[in-house]
Amino acid sequence: MSMSEHRKGMLSIRVWDFPTRLFHWSLVLLVSFSGITGEFGDDFGAQVLDWHARSGYAILTLLLFRLMWGFVGGTHARFRNFLRAPQTVIAYLRELRQAPQSRLRPGHNPLGGWSVAAMLTCLALQVGTGLFLTNDDLGFEGPLARHIGSHLADQLKALHAANFIVLLILIALHLFAIGFYYFSKGENLLRPMLTGDMPVAEGAVDAPSKGGHTLLGAAVMAIGAALAWFIVTRL
Ligand code: HEM
Ligand code: HEM
């Protein structure tokens, strides 16, 4: 539990464990790389698709890690602590409209929690469809492509392209939301995702994140990598 002096009358509490932050910023880099190599791959040639796929396998590893981390990670990384009932989301939206400045709480807010779930699901669909794709012109064959026929392959290719647009929209909403909290509510969500810590008023009842140790994160990441390796090379 890390509590430290922040400003006068303010304390800092741990909100995002290190593995969650490493997950996030790795995801940002890899998804950007995958998006660019996917969209412009044709212009660069065959090798780029190989790197597009490798980046996808790394994203698969991250997603498998995040799935497990949602059960064994630090407090605010756990699904049961941020996937809230619809009534809670609606109540939160009301509060958001009324209060000029909502109180910053540790962890994802009730709406943000579902947006995280949406992004993770969308990414899983993107990687999942990618594994089945081929590109004959560039001599590329995805690791699971041999299991399906050409008709289904064409449909999955279209889904891969369409779902990418959905992903871009979710990312745009994600960035818009972070900007909204910063400019309209005076809440800086970015700093906790960088440093792990968030300022809270002294005497506030907010619980700091517990657990989520880096060593456990490394072990869970290793399991994720092993599962991804199995899916890519053994299925
Ligand atoms: C490829 C682009 C991005 C993707 C796919 C993405 C995805 C995600 C995901 C999945 C989470 C949930 C973290 C978790 O609980 O595991 C998250 C949270 C977060 N992301 Fe991103 N992100 C992207 C870009 C960015 C960028 C560019 C920023 C910086 C402005 C950013 C700032 C944040 C912040 C501040 C949170 C925590 C939100 C909160 O307090 O609830 N993200 N993002
Ligand atoms: C989150 C991860 C991924 C992202 C963001 C992504 C994104 C994209 C995008 C934007 C395109 C261009 C779609 C179009 O307009 O035609 C594309 C194409 C493609 N992707 Fe991915 N992709 C991902 C994962 C994967 C994976 C894991 C594989 C294979 C193992 C893969 C294989 C392909 C192939 C073969 C194409 C070319 C399809 C064609 O021939 O037109 N992708 N991807």
Domain spans in the chain, listed from the N-terminal domain onward: 3-234
Question: What is the pLDDT, as a whole number, of residue 101?
Answer: 64
CA torsion sign, 227 to 156 to 176 to 95? Answer: negative
Q: Which of 32, 33, 34, 131 to mutate to test the pocket of ligand 2 (most atoms within 8 A of CB)?
A: 34
Cβ-count burial of 38 within 10 angstroms (0-12 exposed, 13-18 middle, 19+ buried)?
A: buried
C-alpha of residue 73 to centroid of ligand 1, in Å: 17
pLDDT in tens, the chain (235 residues): 444 444 556 788 999 999 999 999 999 999 999 999 999 877 777 789 999 999 999 999 999 999 999 999 999 999 999 999 999 999 999 988 887 666 678 899 999 999 999 999 999 999 999 999 999 888 899 999 999 999 999 999 999 999 999 999 999 999 999 999 999 988 999 999 999 999 887 767 777 899 999 999 999 999 999 999 999 999 9
Q: Is the CB of 123 under 6 A from ligand 2?
A: yes
CA distances from 94 to 88, 100, 161, 230 (A): 10, 12, 36, 46
Task: Provide the CA 98 distance to its chain's centre, in angstroms.
Answer: 29
The C-alpha atoms of residue 32 and residue 47 are separated, in whole angstroms, by 17
Question: What is the pLDDT, as a whole number, of residue 169?
Answer: 98
Q: Is the CB of 161 under 6 A from ligand 2?
A: yes
DSSP-H helix ranges across 77-149: 79-82, 86-98, 110-130
C-alpha of residue 24 to centroid of ligand 1, in Å: 6
Give the type of residue at 211.
Answer: G
What tokens does 75 get? 């407090």
Q: Is the CB of 35 under 6 A from ligand 2?
A: yes
Q: Which ligand is nearest to the CA of 138?
A: 2
User: DSSP string of 141-184?
Assistant: E-TTGGGS-HHHHHHHHHHHHHHHHHHHHHHHHHHHHHHHHHHH
Q: Which CATH superfamily is domain 3-234 in?
A: Transmembrane di-heme cytochromes, Chain C (1.20.950.20)
Question: What is the pLDDT, as a whole number, of residue 102?
Answer: 63
Question: What is the pLDDT, as a whole number, of residue 1?
Answer: 40
The C-alpha atoms of residue 231 and residue 229 are separated, in whole angstroms, by 6
C-alpha of residue 3 to centroid of ligand 2, in Å: 44
Question: What is the pLDDT, as a whole number, of residue 8?
Answer: 57
Question: What is the pLDDT, as a whole number, of residue 97?
Answer: 86
Question: What is the pLDDT, as a whole number, of residue 11?
Answer: 80
Q: Which of 47, 50, 63, 160 to mutate to test the pocket of ligand 2 (most atoms within 8 A of CB)?
A: 160
> Nearest residue CA, atom 11 of ligand 1?
116
Question: What is the pLDDT, as a whole number, of residue 140?
Answer: 92
What tokens does 70 get? 């949602």
Closest approach atom of ligand 1 to CA 193? 35
Q: What is the pTM of this model?
A: 0.94
